[in-house]
Amino acid sequence: MRKKRKKEDATAALARAAKAQAKAQYVLKLYVAGVTPRSSGAIRSITDLCETHLQGRYALEIINIYQQPALAAGDQIIAAPTLLKKLPLPLRRLIGDMANQDKILVGLDLRPKP
């Protein structure tokens, strides 16, 4: 009887966590290096991903490290493009090509690891 109750409790906890995640507000920063095809592609990819998977519940700040180097230094950005997920916790950094949406969705905790 006790095992059954633990299993029900775990299932209910998982359902509550999934529901909370579906309502979570995301705070993202995308660091890019200048106006290059790679930067433009990263901006387009992350914007599309946010509109598709986080519509109405995200704030995306795009920062050019050449124009605002102090912000990049403050967040310890060493490469661009870098996507920084500030909220919901835990903090995550995704560095490099932003074209692989599956990798980004896993990194943002929007999809479980395969």
Give the residue, 95 or 5, on which the prediction is more confident: 95
Q: For the chain, how far is it from start to end, CA to CA, in angstroms?
A: 33
The CA distances from residue 62 to 8, 47, 82, in Å, are 43, 10, 10
Which CATH number goes with the domain that contains 85?
Answer: 3.40.30.10
Q: Please indicate, yes or no, if residue 91 is contained in any of the structural domains.
A: yes
pLDDT tens sequence across 23-81: 789 999 999 999 999 999 999 999 999 999 999 999 999 999 999 999 999 999 999 99
Q: Give residue 16's pLDDT.
A: 62
Q: What is the pLDDT of residue 9?
A: 72
Lowest mean pLDDT among 6-10, 15-19, 74-78: 15-19
Whole domain around residue 42: which residue ranges?
24-107
Q: What is the pTM of this model?
A: 0.80
